[in-house]
Structure 1
Amino acid sequence: MNRIVGCRRISSRIFLFLGNKILSPLPRSSHSQANPPKPSDLVSPICHLLKNGGKWSSLSSAYSSAELDDALVERIFLNLKEPVDAKGALLFFHWSSQCKSYQHSLKSYCLVIHILVRANLLTDAQALLESVINKNSNPESPTNIVAETLLRSHGDDVVPTPRVFDLLLQTYSKMRMVEQAFDACLYMGDHGFTPSLASFNKMLHVAQRSDWSGLAWKVFENMFVRRVYPNQDSIETMVNLMCKEGCLQRMLRLLDRIHGKRCAPGILVNMALVLRIFEEKRFAQGYILVRRMLQKNLIFDDIMSSLIIYAHCKIGKFHDAAMAYNDMVNRGCRPNAFVHTCFIGARCKENSVEEALQLVEEMHSIGLNPYDETYSYLIEGCARAGRLEESVSFCKKMMKEGFLPSLPAFSEMAVKLCDLGEVEKVDEILTALTEKGFAPNEEIYCQLIHGFGRIGKAQRILGLYYEMVHRGFVVGLPVYAALIRSLSDCGKMKDAKKFIKMMKGDAERAMC
């Protein structure tokens, strides 16, 4: 019995000895210690380390010799995509950025940004967005490359969070890259993502502060296209923009002529947007937006109808304009001076002056007063039709009422009068207008110079030249040509040669 127990003890000792030998690590050669672990073996241990509170020093001590590539890095990020692991993903991102011969791809940036936004680590996400935008903002990079990559990495790889696209727009805006922000906004909209009101307001604010008025109006229009309706901040920004553009007073006057009383600032800004779209001849977009505004009570019925009539008249659809007018009146909206002016302008452009004059009489009969644009249409239309006495009469009448004609209207009247030798009458009217603040252009001065040349008034020709210089005009080739020809017609060859010499000198300086 004692022999059996003794044998068992010896066997246990032998087994224990052999077991310890098997389980103990084999001595490593210097060659095996230099070999880095295989990339395929790194994903799980790195993720395990980071999920269990691993720090920078832990990564460095264990994996400093690891060879990183994009595929490996992206697999690690996808294993850390849950919000609880987001800080670990950010730690690995920064640690791997310090590894030799490795630079993060655009996709790895976007994956980490998605993870951080989902975990509500917005400050860190925005910092990475600023970095990746700076890295991809060179002229050779496609405009929407960051937005495209964010969209491609959005889906099965990471849980969707549209907030990341809002953060992209707001980051672009913060960096004063509003054009890129708007391009990304359009791109995202085409792929089913609608920016938030906060993102639109940020773009509006930066565009307005940077004096990019055209871009601000595009952003404001896109809000309605995406059915993101402006709030008080949006409207205040656009009112400030209109003040900078110098169009606020014009819009206020127009609103008074249509509606008869002041409205909320939002109505004013929305009206200005639709009018701007129609002036750009984008009629289909304007029709859609103005009706959408009416449905949301963002514009009044009479303003909507008046703008639609304006659009129909602008493209010569007079039958549609008349139908829209009748529909407006039948709905209880009052006729207004703006609508009548639209019809008058349309009739003058098609040389139906008699009908335009009848519309003026109709305006007076229902208590509506013509204004500067009404008179300008009549001056130009009557002059084109050869009814110069009526054209001059309307010009004098509007001056008495405190209005000034448009440059095209006065120019049309001046041409016709000068052709008939009535240049002195044009000069007299122009003198009265300039005293009231009218600013003639180069074309009007050329007309007067030619007119005085026909009647041999050389001194007045020279007087017009000095008047132009006094007003700060840069005398160009058309004016030199008019001066030289007209002075030659008057027999003043010495003066004509002086202007030839001046013209040559200006041309030589321009070439240097």
Structure 2
Amino acid sequence: MRKFVSPDVYSYTPIIDGLCKCRRVEEALGLFEEMEREGVKPGVITYNAIMDGFCKEMEREGVKPGVITYNAIMDGFCKKGMVDKAFELKVKMGRDGLKGSIVTYGILINGLVKLDRFGDVGVVLEEMKGKGIVANEFVYNSLIDGHCRMGRFEEALRLRDEMLSKGLRPNSVTCNVIARGYCKAGEMSQAEILLQEMLTERIEVNAGLFSLVIVWLVKEEKRLDSAVRLFKEMLFRNLRPQDSILTMMVEELCKNGKHQDAIDVWDRMLEKGFGVSTITSNTLIHGLCESGNMKKAVGLLKMMLEKGVTLDKITYNTLILGSCKEKQIERGLLLREEMVKKGIKPDICTYNTLMRGLCDLGRMEEAAALWNELKKEDLKPDLYTFSTIIDGYCKAKEVGKAKIYFDELGNSGLEPNVVIYNSLLQGHCRGCNIIEAFNIVAEMKTRGVSPTAVTYSALMHGLCSVGQVEEAKIVLNEMRESRLQMNVICYTILIDGYCKIGKMNEARNIFEEMCAGGLRPNKITYTALMQGYCKIGNQSEATKLLDEMVANGVDPDRITYNTLMSGFSSEGRMDEAFKISDQMSERGLVLDEVSYTTLVDGMSSVRHRKEAASTLRGTMNDDGGT
């Protein structure tokens, strides 16, 4: 039969059953043992047939199977959870004059442990003791595994110590069982300690235990260095970590600024010949791009190509995004060309990213060309695509062109969102077209798009830029009535607006209102007020604001200091101006071109005033002498 097809349990069982029924039990037992040798696992029906057959035959003709046969059948029953039948066989075995071996008892104990029948286990152990049969590693491992599964670690460790006292050295199975038991119970610290002991004693550790401890170290303990060390131990033992664990390690290392460690993990896998998944590689590239390390990200791409790592759309899109964030748009465009050469078709995400990069640089013609190209490639612009091109033209002060795309959006079946409306509104405000800006807000409300804090802030900024500060205050009140979260930005816009038209009392009132509402002024708020006070020559109040700012933990910047220096310099109070420059240096801020120009112009003005006064006095003296 074996010449034509490999027999399975369904082939053996009917023959064994038939032989038993024909009272040819010895042949049936021989066939059963052949199953074991061939690696074919008997089923419950097989065991029942054998048991019934040779038991009946034993009664009729005294056929006596050997201990090995009994053990094999008992093991089968135990594996199927039929432990009571295995014990019935043990009784028949004894009646036949056969003594159970350590293997027999080990099989029975293992079966009982799996069913959590530890009470019966104690009986079996006592019987073994009475017959002088000493438990071996298999028995201890079964017991330790059972206690660990039930969370009884003290008993498991006691059994381990008992093994040692009897001269039995715990093997890798024993240690791995205890360690994994700790893991299942959440006792990860103990699992780590035992793992370290196993490594020190050079006991074999399985990949599963390594993985459990590494995940815990990374996710729960944030001990990335320890996790990397265990990763290296795995590779040293030719154990391959799962792709999911590798990806997790690389991601967490990158998040914590350990990019070189992440690269080392990736590289060591390739050196070992294990290979790295595309997902893991993409995760590493993403981490490098997010940190602004584009040089290493592109270098990694080259290594991937050299070492045959599979690249996909995500790989290139991630690199293109990183390049655009770093304002390296040319590199992004080259990467797109490369992906096309590799047979990877750019998707809408690729185009959106490149268009955003071009729009941010004001290169609108090229962004529009990409728009046309993606449509030729049968790609459909999504809401982000429309938002990108509209915002780009608005920032370039070409609102007319932005409106063309906005109209196309309406015909595409997509609904404009608040982001797109805000872009148009800001575009009109930049062009001082306040009426059209209000029309945008009206359209938003008509179409059920609720204005946000950004909407109101943009409108206020536009009004203030044309000197309509009181109207901006009305918008602020409308924003408050809309129950939107008031923020420091909208208050600062209004404060700056009042300062620019010299209404410092109103500016101060808005400032106090903001503080009373629980909002903390930022350095822009303080600087706007200082500029207002300096403009009307109230340097004293401006200086008080600087002190208040520092006392409240708000760090002044160069603009803040330059504002004060300019105020003092314009009045010829150069000693105070130089004191401000000293404070600036003490806080680690380097004087810039504006700082030096302010001081030089101030000194020149003072000198000219002195020369003019001296000339005037000389003229007056000459007139008096005449």
Q: With structure 1 as the length reference, what TM-score do the two structures score?
A: 0.46
Query: Which protein has the larger Cα radius of gyration, Structure 1 or Structure 2?
Result: 2
Structure number with the bigger relative contact order (C-alpha 8 A, sep ≥ 6) is 1
